[in-house]
Amino acid sequence: MRATSSGERKLRFRLLLLAALALGLGVSSYRLVVGYPLTGDADYHLSMLQQMDCLGPGLALSTDRPLLFLVLYSVQVCLHIEAEVLLKHLQILLTGALVVSTYLLTDCCFKDERLAILSALLASVFPHVTVGIRYFIVGNWFALVLLTLFLTAVLRSLESKSEVWAALAVTLSWLTLGIHFPTWIFSMLVVVIYAFITYRLQTEPKQV
pLDDT in tens, 26-77: 999 988 888 888 888 999 999 999 999 999 999 999 988 899 999 999 999 9
Asked if residue 101 lies in contact with residue 149, where contact means CB atoms within 8 angstroms, the answer is: yes
Let me know if residue 1 belongs to a domain: no
pTM equals: 0.90
Q: With respect to residue 208, please indicate whether it lies within any of the assigned structural domains.
A: no
Compute the CA torsion angle 47, 49, 52, 57 (nearest 10 deg). Answer: 140
Domain residues for the domain of 155 are 6-203
In a domain, 21, yes or no: yes
> What domain count does the chain have?
1
Are 70 and 3 in contact by the 8 Å Cβ rule? The answer is no
**For residue range 134-152, what is the model confidence (pLDDT) as tens digits?**
888 899 999 999 999 999 9
Q: For the CA atoms of 62, 68, 70, 75, what is the dihedral angle to 10 degrees?
A: -150
